[in-house]
Structure 1
Amino acid sequence: MTAALPLADHRPTRRAKPTGLLVLASLPLLVTLVGPLIAPHTIDTPVTAPFAASGGDAPLGGDQLGRDVLSRLLGGGTLLVAGALLVAAVVTVAATVIGCISVLRPALGRAVERSADIAILLPPLLGIMLIALAWPGGGRWAVIAAAITLGVPYAVRVVAAAASPLTTAGYVEAALARGESTAYIALREILPNLRATVLTLFGLRFVDAVYVISMAGFLQIGPQPPASDWSLMVRENASGILLNPWAVVAPSIAIATLAITVNLVTVTLAPDTTAKAVTRS
């Protein structure tokens, strides 16, 4: 009778999903998406005095023009979420394809690594301003383009670092021996083993895009007044924070809550790649 030997199994496994946490974390995102439909007032109609305290028709008070803060809060996250989702999707897909291919082609990998190193050295704020100000007409699309341009190099390094150990795996060497194409090996052999990395990267890129777009909005590089945007709400109402703190605090909390909840959702949904011990007699 032979003793049981522990063997490491590195295949991703399904972790138990805390359904309650997942539902709770998804609610703010859902409210953000349907907010314009449930707003009590239109976003550009004054309903109270400027910087009026909360109460009556304005549960969170009024902004600098007397518009309902709650209505603008409910309507100010839709475009932010859409922009952040677009940035996260494009960056994740581009980084995944480039990263998986670069580890199979050393010359390409070195070129990608050097380019990423140079791009990462560019200060994010300076990069956003250069791209956004050079974009014809500026606005939200300029900020999205800047977020994608600045996000891809870092994401490529993450994917390449995770994919590099897989290039020596037996199934990859077997595919190389069969003469499979680089695209086939990258997408059919390597990519399925990077599910946790890619999903986590998507969540991180979404959070980063939320902050980048919000920072640009605060600096008035992206969305312009009178658009309903959380970062613009913070900037426009900063002068009246002592009169109606909700006009600044509410959109700030909304930005932070959105980022935290999306991060919780992606971490919860990611497969468990922790090596587990199995026995064989």
Structure 2
Amino acid sequence: MLLMAIPLCMVAIGPWLARSAPSVSQAPFGPSTWSPFGTDRLGRDVLAAALEGGRPLVVTTGVTVAIAYLIGATIGMVAASTTRPVVEDLVMRPVDVLLCVPSLLVVLVVALRTDGSRVAIAAAVAAVLIPPIARFIRMAARNVVQSPAMETLRLQGVGAVERYAGFGRRRLAGPIAADVGVRLIAALYILSSANFLGIGFDTTSTDWAVAVAANKEGLFVAPWSVYLPALLIISLALGTNLMLDEQLARRRWLHLGQAGEADRPAPVDVREVG
């Protein structure tokens, strides 16, 4: 939580704190009158730029993953719930083809054709995340939506919405939570890589990934101009993974305790693991 809190607090209140920074440019890669981190290549205070640069990256990452999961989960659930192989092939075969397309290549083409439009880049990242999400949801949901328990609920007259939102949601909550963390890191990686290569946001932006690439010439003169935004990206990615792992572990032990099996590990069904 601490690793996540630092960059997220900078995202939330950073732009407000950065208002007190000097608006006049100072000497590039030199000392700053506002913070001990010095200035970047454009003479902006490094700390002030970092306070302003997290919001575009984090907000774009979150919105991108939300859109990708909404579309990918829908495709995966349709493929998992159908009993007709023809329908499954029609839904999943295009997804398999899209998996072969390199992610950065898609983002590169879109960024060049749209002059670095943030909306277009976010849409491109979401598009490359949809295929793996759809395949994961299909794999995770198949044994749930076609299980004897789901069929029993259907025979008892329970509606489809209640079955999926109740039993299905409880069984899929853990795997989906773990996968969301993976997709968040993947989106953050793709956006950061695109920005680092200069094909993402405006190169004069204070975005953390842009700052790492733009200030690399001054690494030995003003190291904090590179280290600070890079450490914030690492802290956010590492904190997200560790937090989700901890929540999944707690959920597992809570489930074992409720089942009265806290003293010994529960038997593992290989099909459920799959």
Under TM normalisation by the shorter chain, which class is it?
A: 0.7 to 0.9
Does residue 58 of the first structure (1) align with residue 35 of the second (2)? yes
Query: CA offsets, 1:225-253, max 9 Å, x none?
Result: 43211111112111121211111121111
Give the conservation status (yes or no) of the 8 Å contact 1:92–1:198: no
Does residue 149 (structure 1) correspond to residue 123 (structure 2)? The answer is no
SS of 2:251's equivalent in the other structure is: coil
Aligned partner of 2:240 among 262, 278, 281: 262
Q: Provide the C-alpha distance between the structure 1 equivalents of 2:244 and 2:2, rounded to a whole number of angstroms.
A: 12
Equivalent in the alignment of 2:168:
190
SS at match of 2:36: coil
TM-score, normalized by length of structure 2? 0.81
Distance in 2, Cα, partners of 1:146 & 1:122 = 12
Amino acid at match of 1:80: L
1:119 aligns to what?
98
Contact 1:138/1:221 (CA < 8 Å) preserved in 2?
yes
For 1:32 and 1:267, the matched residues in 2 are separated by 23
CA separation of 1:43/1:195 partners in 2, compared to 1, >3 Å: closer, same or farther?
farther
Contact 2:11 2:52 in 1 (8 A): yes
Question: Which structure 2 residues correspond to residues 16-165 of structure 1 after superposition, within 5 A?
Answer: 22=1, 25-39=4-18, 41-42=20-21, 45-46=24-25, 48-53=26-31, 56-105=33-82, 106=84, 107-135=86-114, 137-165=115-143
CA gap of 1:218–1:27, structure 2 versus 1, over 3 A, is closer
Separation of aligned partners in 2, 1:129 and 1:43? 35
How many matched pairs?
A: 255
The residue aligned with 1:9 is: none
Query: Residue 269 of structure 2 corresponds to which residue in structure 1?
Result: none
Q: Is the 8 Å Cα contact of residues 142 and 222 (structure 1) preserved in structure 2?
A: no
Residues 212 and 225 of structure 2 are in contact (CA less than 8 Å); yes or no, is this contact kept in structure 1? yes
- Cα distance in 1 for residues equivalent to 2:171 and 2:87: 22
Asked whether the equivalents of residues 231 and 251 of structure 1 are also in contact (C-alpha less than 8 Å), the reply is yes
Q: 1:24 to 1:212 in 2, by over 3 A?
A: closer
Given that 1:100 and 1:186 are in contact with CA atoms closer than 8 Å, whether structure 2 keeps it comes out as no
Name stretches of at least 5 consecutive residues in structure 2 with no aligned partner.
Answer: 262-274
Indicate the percent of aligned positions where both proteins have the same amino acid.
28
Measured after TM superposition, the shift of residue 181 of structure 1 is 7.1
Residue 209 (structure 1) aligned with residue 187 (structure 2): yes
C-alpha distance in 2, partners of 1:232/1:113? Answer: 36
Question: Is the contact made by 2:81 and 2:146 (CA closer than 8 Å) also made in structure 1?
Answer: no
> Residue 24 of structure 2 aligns to a residue in which SS?
coil
Tell me whether 1:200 sits opposite 2:202 in the alignment.
no
User: Runs of 5+ in structure 1 lacking a partner?
Assistant: 1-21
> Which structure has the highest helix share of the two?
2
Alpha-carbon RMSD across the aligned residues, in angstroms, is 2.6
Q: Provide the residue aligned with 1:15 in structure 2.
A: none
Alpha-carbon spacing, 1:182–1:121, altered in 2? closer, same or farther (3 Å): farther
* Higher relative contact order (CA closer than 8 Å, sequence separation 6+): 1
The whole-number CA distance in structure 1 between the counterparts of 2:224 and 2:19 is 17
